[in-house]
Chain A
Amino acid sequence: MPAIDRRMLDRELKKGSAELIILSILEPRPRHGYEISKLIETRSNGQLKFHIASLYPLLYRLEERGWLQGRWVEKAGQRRRRFYSLTAEGRRVLASQRSTWKAFVEAMGLITGVDHA
Chain B
Amino acid sequence: MPDPSKGSWTRELRARLAGLHLSPAREAEIVDELAQHLDDRYEELRAAGSSDTDARRLALAELSEGGGLADRMQALSQAHTPAPIVHGRSSAGWLRGFREDMRYAARIMKRQPWFAATIVVTLGLGIAVNNTVFTIVNAVVLRPQPFESADRIVQLNVRNVGNAQNPVSELSYPDFQEWQTARRTFEHIVATEERAVDVADEQRAPAVVRAAYVSWNTFKLIGHPPALGRDFTAADDRTGASPAVILGGTLWRARFGADPAIVGKTIRVNGVPSTVIGVMPPEVGFPDRVEFWLPLVSLPEAERTSRSTHILDGFGRLRPGVTIEQAATELDGITAALAERYPDTNRNTASFVTPFRIAPPIMAVLIALLGAVGFVLLIACANVANLLLARAADRSRDVTLRLALGASRWRIVRQLLVESVLLSAAGGLCGLALSYPAVQAFQNLPAEAAPPSWVQFTMDWRVFTYLVVLCAGSALVCGLVPAWQASRPNLVAMLNDATRGSAGSRTRQRWMSTFVVAQVALALVLLTGAALMMQNLIGLLRTDAGVDTSDLTQMSFDLRRRDYDRERRLLLLGQLEERLASGPGVQAALASAAPLDEALTRRLQIEGQAVATPDTLPLVSMLRVGQRYFDVVGAPVIAGRALAADDVRQPDDNVVINERFARMHFPDGAAVGKRILLIEPNASLNTARDVRWMTIVGVVGNVRQRLLPSGEFDPVVYTSYATDPPQTMQVLARASAGPTAAAAFVDAELRALDPDVPLLPVSTVDEALARRLWPQRLFGSMFAIFASIAMLLATCGLYAVTSYAVSRRTREIGVRVALGADSRKVWWAVTGTTLRQLSIGVVIGTAGAAAIAAVLPAFLVGSGGGNCLVLAGVVTLLVAAGITASTVPARRAMRLDPTAALQSE
Hey, which bits of chain A sit against chain B, CB under 8 A?
6, 10, 32-34, 37, 51-54, 56-58, 60-61, 64, 79, 81-82
Contacts and interface: CB of A to CB of B under 8 A. Distances in A.
B69 A53 contact: yes
Given A56-B33, A56-B37, 15 more contacts: A6-B66, A10-B66, A52-B34, A52-B69, A53-B65, A53-B66, A54-B66, A54-B72, A56-B69, A57-B72, A57-B73, A57-B76, A61-B75, A64-B76, A64-B78
Contact of A60 (B41, B62, B78): B78
B676 interface: no
Contact of A53 (B29, B30, B62): B62
A60 B72 CA distance: 10
B65 A56 contact: no
Contacts, number: 57
B40 interface: yes
Contacts of A32: 36
A25 B29 CA distance: 23
Contacts of B67: 53
Contacts of B38: 52
Interface string B705-743: 000000000000000000000000000000000000000
9 contacts: A51-B62, A51-B66, A53-B72, A54-B66, A54-B72, A56-B34, A58-B72, A60-B76, A64-B76
B847 to A, nearest CB: 71
B223 interface: no
Given A57-B69, A57-B72, A57-B73, A52 B37 contact: yes
B72 to A, nearest CB: 4
Interface of B: 29-30, 33-34, 36-38, 40-41, 62-69, 72-73, 75-78
A34 B41 contact: yes
A34 B40 contact: yes
Nearest to B61: A51
Given A34-B40, A79-B36, A51 B65 contact: yes
Nearest to B76: A60
Nearest to B59: A52
Contacts of B66: 6, 10, 51, 53-54
Contacts of A53: 62-69, 72
B65 A54 contact: yes
Closest 5 CB pairs of A and B: A57-B72, A51-B62, A34-B40, A53-B69, A53-B65
Nearest to A35: B40
Nearest to A33: B37
A106 B774 CA distance: 106
Given A33-B37, A34-B40, A52-B62, A61 B69 contact: no
A57 B76 CA distance: 8
Contacts of A57: 69, 72-73, 75-76
A52 B76 contact: no
A4 B38 CA distance: 24
A2 B808 CA distance: 77
A54 B62 CA distance: 9
Nearest to A7: B66
A84 B11 CA distance: 25
Contact of B33 (A51, A54, A82): A82
A58 B71 CA distance: 12
A60 B66 CA distance: 17
A25 B541 CA distance: 100
Nearest to A54: B66
Contacts of B72: 53-54, 57-58
Given A33-B33, A34-B36, A79-B36, A52 B78 contact: no
Nearest to B16: A53
Highest count of chain A CB atoms <10 Å: which of B37, B63, B73, B75: B37
Contacts of A54: 65-66, 72
Contacts of A33: 33, 36-37
Nearest to A10: B66
Nearest to B40: A34
A64 B63 CA distance: 21
Given A60-B78, A61-B75, A52 B41 contact: yes
Contact of B76 (A6, A34, A61, A82): A61
Contacts of A82: 29, 33
Contacts of A34: 36-37, 40-41
A13 to B, nearest CB: 8
A56 B64 CA distance: 13
A76 B72 CA distance: 34
B46 to A, nearest CB: 15
Contacts of B78: 60, 64
Contacts of A10: 66
A52 B36 contact: no
A31 B142 CA distance: 72
Highest count of chain B CB atoms <10 Å: which of A54, A60, A61, A64: A60
Contacts of B40: 34
Given A34-B37, A64-B78, A79-B36, A52 B30 contact: no
A13 B833 CA distance: 72
A56 B63 CA distance: 10
A1 to B, nearest CB: 21
A33 B37 CA distance: 7
A22 to B, nearest CB: 14
A34 B41 CA distance: 8
Contacts of B64: 53
Contacts of A58: 72
A64 to B, nearest CB: 6
A40 to B, nearest CB: 13
Contacts of B73: 57, 60
Highest count of chain A CB atoms <10 Å: which of B29, B30, B62: B62
A52 B77 contact: no
A58 to B, nearest CB: 8
Highest count of chain B CB atoms <10 Å: which of A53, A54, A81, A82: A53
